[in-house]
Amino acid sequence: MKNRFFVFGSVVMFLVIAVMVVNAFQIPFFEEESITEEDSTIISITGNAKEFLQPNLAKFNVGVVTDNDEADRSVSDNAEAVADVKNELMELGINEEDIKTSYFYVSVNKDWETNTITGYTTTHTLTIETEDIEDIGKYIDGAVKAGANRISSIQFTLNEETIEEIKKELLADAVKDAKEKADILANAVDKTVVDTKTISISQSYRSPYSPYGDYEMYSSKADTSIEYDDVSVSVSVYIEFLGQ
């Protein structure tokens, strides 16, 4: 029993001495200054980052329009011409899975004064994707020679892998830009940025394109030459900082 009281007394004495040491040296004992929104100034900032890259993917539309007095003949003539165009594009190097129908329509032509049907027009548009952007002129010429009479919406862009990689880099740059702006504003009012309250992301992505219309626009003996510009990728972040 005496030994138990001796051990208990020793423990109490040790705790008393520890408290005295802490007080003597003014060591903070689990006391941290908390940052609250009520004590802080909210600094709202938009950070931006942009980069220009050379495109590595091209998209363009190839169309075949056929007219006939009979609907079935209009459709069959169109199907034959589209098949020729597809075969020519594949022979030039386009993969079959990169040639897809994006529009198909059969319209009725009428003489509105007599309200009689004068014929039928079939329109079939193919959308082609290729990473061989330097050869796009060759593909257009081949499609036209094979029977295409509509070329439109030529667009130079970036593939998905490149877009995802550059967006990650730009996000970090945009956050850095926002932090630098917040520090400037905080210093101007004798404050210091101590924390963040909210962060949201917005991003935009623009691709230059070259519109082309009917076959007559480029029906020359010279090879078609398509010029393109760099693609811009931009990312913005909205951050609310806390300043004290």
Domain map of the chain by residue range? 37-52+162-205+236-243, 57-157
Residue 59, C-beta contacts closer than 8 angstroms, at least 6 positions apart: 127, 128, 129, 153, 154, 155, 157
Alpha helices in 189-223 (DSSP H): none
Largest CA distance in the chain: 124
Per-residue pLDDT of the chain (244 residues), as tens digits, is 444 444 444 434 443 444 443 344 343 433 444 555 567 899 999 999 999 999 999 999 999 999 999 999 999 999 999 999 999 999 999 999 999 999 999 999 999 999 999 999 999 999 999 999 999 999 999 999 999 999 998 999 999 999 989 999 999 999 999 999 999 999 999 999 999 999 999 777 666 665 554 444 444 455 777 888 898 899 999 999 999 9
Angle at CA of residue 164, ends 163 and 167, nearest 5°: 85
Domain 57-157 has CATH 3.30.70.2970: yes
71-92 and 136-146 helices, crossing angle to 10°: 150
Closest CA to 40 of 187, 244, 241: 244
The tokens 């593939």 sit on which residue?
159
Helix (H, G, I), strand (E, B) or coil at 218: coil
